Amino acid sequence: MSTANSYFLGQFPTTRLRRHRRFEWMRQLVAETVLSSNDLIWPTFVREETLSPTIKGMPGVVRFTVTELVEAAGKAQELGIKALALFPVIPIEKRCEHAMEALNAENVLLQAIRALKRSYPHLGIISDPALDSFTSHGHDGLIKGGDDVANDETVQALCKHALLQAEAGADIVAPSDMMDGRVGAIRHYLDAHGYQDVAIMSYAAKYASAFYNPFREALGSDQCLGVKNKKTYQMDPANACEALREVALDISEGADSVMVKPGLPYLDIIHQVKQKFMVPTFAFHVSGEYAMLKAASTQGIVDYEKTLFEIMLAFKRAGADGILSYGACDVAKLLKK
Ligand code: PBG
């Protein structure tokens, strides 16, 4: 070895992080984050029979009838999915300003909860008391005078809706509406009616995001909302401290777990929430995120399965305990391979 060469090698590091990357088994041995089907929640749409099953922006996602949903839920459970989140699709004719259909005990959401619970007592059912499926204006709450959502009137309606969902068999109610004080109000209302064991997963830090478009198309609430947006109740994407305040409030009001939404653009929020509050924290990989992945993979730009898996792992690495994703069943299938 020439002097010049040994001098050169002497500069080399004794610490070589590549040593642990040499073989698959070695990489697995030192992996810091593990993804399992225990972490997955599958968001689903349940429709009345007369409506169309397809959602333009979301290939691979359908609006199920109650019967179809029950069948699909069975398959999801076999794949290891732990829980389903349900979102109802209601015919436009049944929507009104006061979201009356939300209080109809035979509405498609409550039917679906009962049918799922009957068929799979051990599959978790998460339902959302927000009113956007049921309002003619597409907002998550009630409008009173002007065109803004009235906070306290909405909270009262949410309580009633949450109780109906608990009575139907929901294990977790997950309010996505971002009204102030709704977690505390729902907690008291459920407790007062004997449902103290029904948990609350709060959509605590939910941003006014452009990534929800395919979801609104799936619900048909996009037509109702028109050019309007939800910026007076959902959070400004510019804010992080405010997200922590939202989470702190919801925990103090009795939230059992909290959610950050959307997912991937908000990993910093997920990380901070988990570090600061140490409560069960969920990420919602939302419709627009799923749609982008599908669109890019359909064009051969990225591999759907690999990118999806990487994204799920990123949520866990950031601190999420669980993830809601339209790709949950695809991930569960990959984990079984
Ligand atoms: C509304 C609600 C939305 C989502 C879940 N619940 C959309 C919105 O706030 O307009 C979005 C989910 C997704 O995009 O996948 N209560």
Whether 160 is catalytic is no
User: Is the distance from CB of 27 to CB of 68 less than 8 angstroms?
Assistant: no
pLDDT tens by residue, 52-80: 999 998 999 999 999 999 999 999 999 99
DSSP 304-318: HHHHHHHHHHHHHHH
Q: Which of 261, 274, 294, 316 is catalytic?
A: 261
Q: What b-and-e string marks burial along 240-262, b requiring 16 or more CB atoms within 10 Å of the CB?
A: eeebbebbebbbebbbbbbbbbb
Distance CA 263, CA 261 (A): 5
DSSP 81-119: --EEEEEEE--GGG-BTT-GGGG-TTSHHHHHHHHHHHH
Distance CA 95, CA 171 (A): 26
pLDDT band at residue 331, thresholds of 50, 70 and 90?
Answer: very high
Whether 206 is catalytic is yes
End-to-end CA distance of the chain: 49
Range of the domain at 122: 35-336
Q: What percent of the chain stands above pLDDT 90?
A: 91
For residue 218, pLDDT beyond 80: yes
Closest atom, ligand 1, to C-alpha of 234: 9
126 found inside a domain: yes
pLDDT tens by residue, 13-48: 889 999 999 999 999 999 999 999 999 999 999 999
250 found inside a domain: yes
How many A from CA of 269 to the centre of ligand 1?
18
Chain length of the chain: 337
How many A from CA of 18 to the centre of ligand 1?
42
26 found inside a domain: no
Per the DSSP assignment, residues forming a β-bridge with 303 are: none
14 found inside a domain: no
Residue among 242, 269, 274 nearest 257 (CA): 274
The whole model's pTM is what? 0.95
Mutational test site, ligand 1, from 217, 286, 292, max ligand atoms within 8 Å of CB: 286
Distance CA 276, CA 244 (A): 8
96 found inside a domain: yes
Closest atom, ligand 1, to C-alpha of 130: 16
pLDDT tens by residue, 81-138: 999 999 999 999 999 999 999 999 999 999 999 999 999 999 999 999 999 999 999 9
pLDDT band at residue 1, thresholds of 50, 70 and 90?
Answer: very low
DSSP 147-195: SSBPHHHHHHHHHHHHHHHHHHT-SEE---S--TTHHHHHHHHHHHTT-
pLDDT tens by residue, 156-170: 999 999 999 999 999
Indicate whether residue 212 lines ligand 1 (CB < 6 A).
yes
pLDDT band at residue 230, thresholds of 50, 70 and 90?
Answer: very high
Indicate whether residue 130 lines ligand 1 (CB < 6 A).
yes
Per the DSSP assignment, residues forming a β-bridge with 258 are: 202, 281
Here the CATH number for the domain that contains residue 219 is 3.20.20.70
Mean pLDDT across the chain:
95
> Which of residues 271 and 144 earns the better pLDDT score?
271
Indicate whether residue 45 lines ligand 1 (CB < 6 A).
no
**How many domains does the chain divide into?**
1
For residue 11, pLDDT beyond 80: no
Identify the pLDDT of residue 222: 84
Q: Which of 82, 206, 230, 274 is catalytic?
A: 206
2 found inside a domain: no
pLDDT tens by residue, 253-274: 999 999 999 999 999 999 999 9
